[in-house]
Amino acid sequence: MTKRGKSGPDFGPLEIRAAGAGRVLSIMVFALLGSVDMAFSDGGSVPGKIFFGFACAVAVLIVVLSVSSRRKGCLVRLDDAGVTLFGGQTVSWSAISEVRDIRKKQILVFLPRDGAVLPMLSVGMLVRPHVLEKRLTRRWGSPLVLAPRALDASADEIIDAVRRFSGGVPVLDEERQLATG
């Protein structure tokens, strides 16, 4: 594994922060361009203009949440001890049975061993944490889900860190085959 943006090996832990506002803004620009077309094509309809206003408000809210999350510093740390989440809670590697790489959804799911309870990464969300935790567990089998598109580390960097630090926790794709990364 190499240092992000630098050359040479990196033997330290992988510390992951929220993605910068620039990355979030680039995603939002594409969403807003679609709503602009809908709002103002053919003279623009009232529902189209309302939707455009709503999309702008959501974009501003997401940027504000992104900036506030970025200011919190390290959200996730992967090292020999395990996965440490914002707030200091560490999940040991022995509590994780596998990491599932869901490329279609651009997420990584840390699945618990039998009997283990994993926490959720909860930093500045719009949904109440306990509601989101239940939803994630029902959909993915675990509340510990990382979305690299919202973080400053790629899926491949996270997978490399899991392989390097976990002592053998498998990283599998949707078909439960060893994931590349």
Q: Band the pLDDT of 174: cuts 50, 70, 90.
A: confident
Which tokens go with 5?
Answer: 């943006």
What are the domain boundaries of the chain?
19-71, 76-173
Identify which of 163, 119, 179, 116 has the alpha carbon closest to the alpha carbon of residue 14: 163
Q: pLDDT per residue over 76-134, tens digit each?
A: 999 999 999 987 789 999 999 999 999 888 999 999 999 898 988 876 555 677 888 89
What pLDDT is recorded for position 2?
40
CB-based contact 172:178 (threshold 8 Å): yes
- Residue 21 has, within 13 A of its CA and on its CB side, a CA count of 10
Chain segment 30-64, per-residue pLDDT in tens = 666 666 655 566 566 677 677 777 777 777 766 66
Question: Which residues, 6+ apart, have CB-to-CB distance to 147 below 8 Å?
Answer: 106, 107
pTM here? 0.69
More confident residue, 4 or 91: 91
Structural contact between residues 103 and 118, judged by C-beta atoms closer than 8 angstroms: no
Strand-by-strand arrangement of the 96-102 sheet: 145-146, 107-112, 96-102, 171-173
156-171: string of b/e by CB count within 10 Å (b at 16+)? ebbbbbbbbbbeebbb
